[in-house]
Structure 1
Amino acid sequence: MEHYVERDIEKVLLSKEEIEKRVMELGEQISQDYQGKDFIAVGILRGSVVFFSDLMRCVKIPMEIDFMAVSSYGQGSSSTGSVQIKYDMQEDIRGKHLLIIEDIIDSGWTLHNLTKLLQGRQPASIEMCCLLNKQDRREVEVPVKYIGFDIPDEFVVGYGLDYAAKYRNYESVGILKRSVYE
């Protein structure tokens, strides 16, 4: 049976297998880098939830987890530049090594503003991990330590990424047909 998303996908950009392999590699690297540290990973809801859950199972050291919901898109297809905190993390991050887990970075504004906010909470360090990096869309630089894939400037969905709250459950990452969002 065809997945309902496939009719709206122009092309598969990253297969389920490619994603699984890269997530495992990221988990191994994070495990090495945070060995022996008081470490908390914060998933940015909702887009990162699939990536976050797969990644945390690949991290082989003790870790805490928490979540934040941050919005910069609304119902559109491009970032508004402003960031709203819709749900804040519950854990105190003072003195802990914080790893922000994000699904995609394009303009950089969301993580730039979020990092400024979180620095005020006095973590020992803040690093970022994203599944997808759209460097061509960058308006403000953000230091991303862990990048799953550099991708072209295309509108992508699947593996947690959505358009108008749909397509998150597609297991691959696909380029959405322009006719769907224009």
Structure 2
Amino acid sequence: MATPSPLPILYTQAQIQTRVAELGAVISRDFAGQSIVLVGVLKGAAIFLADLARHIQLDCTFDFVSVSSYGKGTTSNGQVKLIKDIDESIEGKNVILVEDILDTGLTLSFLRKILTQHHPRVLRLAALLDKPSRRLEPIEADYVGFQIPNHFVIGYGMDFAERYRNLADICLMPASPEPSA
């Protein structure tokens, strides 16, 4: 059982699960009769990818990439670097890049360029959260869970300095986070 949140809740576990199920149904319809590869952005999108995959009624495989742009702060440093590329070939395959949050667009724009070099048949973007007010790159997700205002959020895989990922809800980060243990 996931950890309940002592923080202000933006979306409850039930709201998240309902929306993820809806996204899974849309993806299943969009790719009916085809197989897809879900490429999750570690670490934040791991929980979203797992839940989303359970709602996709298609032949589906996983792969993961890892990038760095935040360090241990609450704002992107503006430079994205690839830490882990995909393990399997996606050439000629239907690929959905799965991210926890589309914020500045720097990370997803960077990853879209990287994955396009692998020559997928189709490349779509899925983001649980979309924060358009912070966009620096002109990029939109094909599948969006929720559009949110400019708040730093944690829980459901999203973190602050690697903490809070295990919260079942998506919560607002307090103005002064608890000191590290």
Q: Which segments of 5 or more consecutive residues in structure 1 lack a partner in the other structure?
A: none
* RMSD of aligned alpha carbons: 1.5
Q: Give 1:127's aligned residue.
A: 124
Is the aligned partner of 1:35 residue 2:27? no
Is the aligned partner of 1:106 residue 2:106? no
- Distance in 2, matches of 1:30 and 1:54, equals 13
Q: Which segments of 5 or more consecutive residues in structure 2 lack a partner in the other structure?
A: none
- Distance in 1, matches of 2:113 and 2:20, equals 27
Q: Give 1:92's aligned residue.
A: 89
Contact 2:5 2:169 in 1 (8 A): no
Q: How many residues align?
A: 177
1:171 Cα deviation (Å)?
0.1
2:137 to 130, 135, 140: 140
Once the two structures are superposed, the pairs formed by residues 20-31 of structure 1 within 5 Å of their partners are 20-31=17-28
1:57 Cα deviation (Å)?
0.4
1:176 to 173, 177, 180: 173
Kindly provide the amino acid, as one letter, of the partner of residue 26 in structure 2.
Q
Structure 1's consecutive aligned runs of 4 or more residues displaced over 3 angstroms after TM superposition are none
Once the two structures are superposed, the pairs formed by residues 50-89 of structure 1 within 5 Å of their partners are 50-89=47-86
Identity fraction in percent:
38
1:4 Cα deviation (Å)?
7.7
Is the aligned partner of 1:151 residue 2:153? no
- Distance in 2, matches of 1:81 and 1:142, equals 16
Task: Normalising by structure 1, report the TM-score.
Answer: 0.93
Kindly provide the amino acid, as one letter, of the partner of residue 91 in structure 1.
E
Do the aligned partners of residues 4 and 172 (structure 1) sit closer, same or farther apart at CA in structure 2, a change above 3 Å counting? closer
What is the DSSP-based 3-state SS (H/G/I as helix, E as strand, rest coil) of the residue aligned with 1:94? coil
Kindly provide the amino acid, as one letter, of the partner of residue 137 in structure 2.
V
1:70 Cα deviation (Å)?
1.3
The answer to which structure has the higher helix fraction is 1
Do the aligned partners of residues 38 and 60 (structure 1) sit closer, same or farther apart at CA in structure 2, a change above 3 Å counting? closer
